[in-house]
């Protein structure tokens, strides 16, 4: 039966493929594909883990005291029976040998299949037995966790037989886990939770694959290997579509691919408006390897290197100075002399470190992580770590043009502490005879307090970059990762636009460079408006560069500047801006 689900569209395009479920589990496990040659070794890992659990339960049963209730022994017998049941053991091995899942993923996938079967049983007693399946699976997963796999992870976008493309379905995917899937080239993904500007959505756009988040029941309603259509334009997920619907979406998919190919031809054209205004189009990257994609897409530099992704998915072991230096240097060298702006670590809120990491317990249990110890606040609370990162960045500056960007800065005390930390890092390198060059220091404008105290920031910083995602979140008091209030997250809100316009005007007036590096930069709906405000630098995901460049090439900034004032003064800026541009388009057509 075909069904439709609705969520938030976060990455445009159409994806069609078979569902791959990342099943939820109380045990956090890795999900990745293995090389076919290593399937026997992975099956052996699974078998060893199962045998370990069998031995544990057998020992527990043998050591039961005489006064133990007989039901306990019976329960242990049920768990032993399940561990030897082909529905669990053989089927789990099938996921490894045929689909090339790692052992942990195979176990969670088969557990999900069995739990669904139990849910559909009419008998209440049998239906409740799914808890036994989950408990047994959790024991096996814990056993697997004690012997970390050293097998290489590989990339697949199709089934083992080379037939059907794959799409990912999950309750949620952490940003760091998204990066693990980055090389897998899944054709698209859908999650139960999340919002348009959650970091999971942002990484999806950087992967340039169609995605829908906040689909509520997707991971419960979709089954392994169901055919799915993910409409990243409308936020619709179609499960097991009819042939007519499938053909319609295949046509849309072909049209989208043709449009992308046409836009791709613009990538190396100079980005200049109709009235001769050059506009700097930069790229946002998460890892050094993304720099090559940025160059290929036509970026003239990196406007935002999110260094926090070097700190995540590491089981609490933070990268040392040399490891960070090598990563930053790799990105700088890959950009071949073009500028690279490295943001200091922005940990917190929807980008937590692993549970064992420093300070994790402190902010994991915070009442509101978005307002807690994150970004520059966390860095300043760990001065040794912060200076270590600054030294690594400064060392990389010896290999190209590097700029440092400080996230979430708002207080004079934070500015002075940051300047002091940077000076100490410089002095330490100088004393050690390690080469570095001067770097420009910038502030991210993502808190209303920062936007309203621009004169203070401009005294101390060389440039500013507007992080629209957090600026909107904090201005409107909206948790951007919470789909329950996603409809209130409004980039067109008059307060948001007025703050952005004021920041751009004040930076331009002071002769300091200003850019936008949030999601608004890559949204063509805002390109003309930002240009009309006086912005001449935008940083976005490489996949969005060509679309934005097309708008830049067609823009007349002199005309746009005249229309910004009425739009900002309006109670409904979006409607006012749209109406003014439609009238201009009509006049152009009649002329």
Q: What is the pLDDT averaged over residues 150-167?
A: 57
Beta strands in 214-329 (DSSP E): 227-231, 236-239, 280-285, 302-306
**pLDDT score, position 358:** 44
The answer on pLDDT for 474 being more than 90 is yes
Is the CB of residue 374 less than 8 Å from the CB of residue 338?
no
Q: Report, as an integer, the average pLDDT of 285-294.
A: 90
Q: Is the pLDDT of residue 364 over 50?
A: no
Residues annotated within a binding site for Mg(2+): 446, 470
Share of the chain above pLDDT 90, in %: 51
Tokens matching residue 542: 């490489």
When the pLDDT of each residue in the chain is averaged and rounded to a whole number, the result is: 85
pLDDT of residue 118: 76
The pLDDT of residue 365 is above 50: no
Is 70 exceeded by the pLDDT of residue 149?
A: no
Half-sphere exposure of 253 (CA within 13 A, CB side): 17
Following DSSP, what letter does each residue of 230-246 receive, concatenated? EETTTTEEEES--HHHH
Average pLDDT over residues 40-65: 87
Q: What is the pLDDT of residues 484-539, one digit of tens each?
A: 787 788 999 999 999 999 999 999 999 999 999 988 999 999 999 999 999 999 99
Specify the pLDDT at position 233.
Answer: 87
> Which are the contacts of 494, defined by CB distance < 8 A and separation ≥ 6?
568, 570, 571, 573
The binding site for phosphoenolpyruvate consists of 306, 343, 469-470, 480
Report the C-alpha gap between 44 and 46 in whole angstroms: 5
* Domain positions in the chain: 1-32+156-264, 36-151, 267-556
Supply the pLDDT for residue 219: 85
Let me know the angle formed at the C-alpha of 18 by 15 and 23, rounded to the nearest 5 degrees: 110
Q: What percent of the chain has pLDDT over 70?
A: 84
Active-site annotation holder among 100, 363, 517, 541:
517
User: 382 pLDDT exceeds 50?
Assistant: yes
Of 9-13, 231-235, 443-447, where does mean pLDDT reach its minimum? 9-13
**Is the pLDDT reported for residue 391 higher than 90?**
yes
Q: Which of 32-46, 114-128, 288-302, 442-456 has the lowest mean pLDDT?
A: 114-128
Fold type of domain 267-556? TIM Barrel (3.20.20)
Least confident range from 67-81, 292-306, 383-397, 574-588: namely 67-81
The reply to whether 264 belongs to the active site is no
Q: CA 281, CA 298: separation in Å to the nearest integer?
A: 8
Q: What's the pLDDT at 150?
A: 39
Neighbour tally for 482: CB within 10 Å: 17
Q: Collapsing DSSP states into helix, strand and coil, what is residue 399?
A: helix
Q: State the pLDDT at residue 485.
A: 80
DSSP string, 465-489: EE-HHHHHHHHHT--TT-GGGGGG-
Q: How confident is the model at residue 174 (pLDDT cuts 50, 70, 90)?
A: low
Q: What pLDDT is stored for residue 116 in this prediction?
A: 78
Residue bearing the bigger pLDDT, 352 or 446: 446
> What is the model's pLDDT at position 432?
97
Q: Say which residue, 122 or 82, is predicted with more confidence.
A: 82
Top mean pLDDT of 107-111, 143-147, 547-551 is at: 547-551
pLDDT level of residue 465 (50, 70, 90 thresholds): very high
pLDDT at 459 over 90: yes
- The whole-number pLDDT of residue 181 equals 61
* CA 454 distance to own-chain centroid: 29
**Per-residue confidence at 154, pLDDT binned at 50, 70, 90?**
very low
Q: Give me the catalytic one of 79, 156, 199, 541.
A: 199
Quote the strand ranges of 71-220, DSSP E.
153-154, 166-170, 189-191, 211-213
CATH topology of domain 1-32+156-264: Glucose Oxidase; domain 1 (3.50.30)
Q: Is 517 a catalytic residue?
A: yes
Say whether pLDDT at 69 is over 60.
no
Query: Residue 151: is its pLDDT beyond 50?
Result: no
Is residue 363 scored above 70 in pLDDT? no
pLDDT in tens, 235-284: 999 999 999 999 999 999 898 888 888 888 888 899 999 999 999 999 99
User: How confident is the model at residue 360, as a pLDDT?
Assistant: 42
361 or 132, which is more confident? 132
* Assigned superfamily of 36-151: PtsI, HPr-binding domain (1.10.274.10)
pLDDT, residue 591, reads 61
Long-range contacts formed by 52-58: CB under 8 A, 24+ apart: 52/143, 53/83, 53/136, 53/139, 53/140, 53/143, 54/80, 54/83, 54/84, 56/139, 57/83, 57/139
The pLDDT of residue 125 is: 53
Residue 163: pLDDT band (50, 70, 90) is low
User: In whole angstroms, what is the distance from residue 97 CA to residue 168 CA?
Assistant: 19
**Span 402-415, average pLDDT:** 97
Cα gap 446→538, rounded to integer Å: 15
Q: Detail the residues annotated as belonging to a binding site.
A: 306, 343, 446, 469-470, 480
The confidence score (pLDDT) of residue 200 equals: 66
pLDDT at residue 132, rounded to an integer: 77
Provide the terminal-to-terminal Cα distance of the chain, rounded to the nearest Å: 53
- The per-residue pLDDT for 367 is 54
């Amino acid at each position: 039966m075909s069904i439709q689900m609705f969520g938030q569209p976060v990455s445009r395009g159409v994806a069609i493929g078979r569902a791959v479920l990342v099943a939820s589990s109380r045990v956090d496990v890795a999900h990745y594909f293995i090389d076919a040659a290593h399937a026997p070794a992975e099956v052996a890992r699974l078998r060893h883990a199962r045998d370990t659990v069998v031995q544990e339960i057998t020992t527990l049963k043998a050591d039961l005291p005489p006064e133990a209730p007989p039901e306990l022994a019976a329960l242990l017998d049920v768990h032993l029976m399940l561990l030897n049941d082909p529905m669990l053991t053989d089927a789990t091995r099938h996921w490894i040998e045929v689909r090339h899942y790692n052992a942990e993923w195979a176990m969670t996938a088969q557990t999900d299949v069995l739990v669904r079967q139990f849910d559909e049983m009419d008998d209440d007693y049998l239906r409740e037995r799914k808890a036994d399946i989950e408990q047994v699976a959790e024991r096996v997963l814990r056993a697997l966790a004690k012997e970390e796999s050293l097998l290489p992870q590989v990339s697949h976008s199709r089934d083992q037989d080379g037939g059907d493309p794959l799409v990912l379905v999950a309750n949620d995917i952490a940003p760091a886990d998204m990066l693990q899937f980055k090389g897998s080239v899944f054709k698209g993904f859908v999650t139960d939770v999340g919002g348009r500007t959650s970091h999971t959505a942002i990484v999806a756009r950087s992967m340039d694959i169609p995605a829908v988040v906040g689909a509520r029941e997707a991971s419960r309603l979709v089954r392994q290997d169901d055919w799915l259509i993910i409409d990243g334009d409308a936020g619709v997920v179609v499960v097991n579509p009819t042939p007519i619907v499938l053909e319609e979406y295949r046509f849309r998919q072909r049209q989208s691919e043709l449009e992308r190919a046409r836009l791709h031809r613009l990538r190396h054209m100079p980005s200049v408006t109709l009235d001769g205004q050059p506009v700097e189009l930069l790229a946002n990257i998460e890892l050094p390897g993304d720099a090559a994609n940025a160059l290929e897409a036509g970026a003239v530099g990196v406007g935002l290197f999110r260094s926090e992704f070097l700190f995540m998915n590491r089981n609490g072991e933070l990268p040392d100075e040399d490891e960070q230096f090598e990563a930053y240097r790799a990105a700088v060298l890959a950009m071949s002399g073009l500028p690279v702006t490295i943001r200091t670590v922005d940990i917190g809120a929807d980008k937590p470190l692993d549970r064992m990491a420093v300070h994790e317990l402190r902010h994991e249990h915070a009442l509101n992580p978005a307002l807690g110890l994150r970004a520059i606040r966390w860095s300043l609370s760990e001065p040794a770590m912060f200076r270590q990162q600054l030294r690594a960045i400064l060392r990389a500056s010896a290999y190209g043009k590097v700029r440092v960007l400080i996230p979430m800065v708002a207080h004079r005390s934070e500015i002075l502490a940051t300047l002091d930390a940077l000076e100490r890092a410089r002095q330490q390198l100088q004393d050690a005879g390690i080469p570095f060059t001067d770097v420009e220091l910038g502030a991210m404008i993502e808190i209303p307090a920062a936007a309203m105290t621009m004169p203070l920031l401009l005294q101390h910083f060389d440039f500013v970059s507007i992080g629209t995602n957090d600026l909107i979140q904090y201005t409107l008091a909206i948790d951007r990762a919470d789909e329950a209030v996603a409809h209130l997250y409004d980039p067109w809100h008059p307060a948001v636009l007025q703050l952005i316009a004021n920041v751009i005007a004040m930076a331009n007036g002071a002769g300091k460079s200003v850019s936008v590096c949030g999601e608004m930069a890559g949204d063509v709906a805002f390109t003309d408006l930002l240009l009309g405000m006086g912005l001449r630098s935008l940083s976005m995901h490489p996949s969005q560069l060509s679309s934005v460049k097309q708008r830049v090439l067609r823009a007349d900034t002199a005309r746009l500047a005249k229309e910004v004032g009425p739009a900002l003064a309006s109670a409904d800026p979006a409607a006012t801006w749209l109406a003014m541009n439609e009238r201009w388009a009509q006049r152009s057509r009649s002329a």
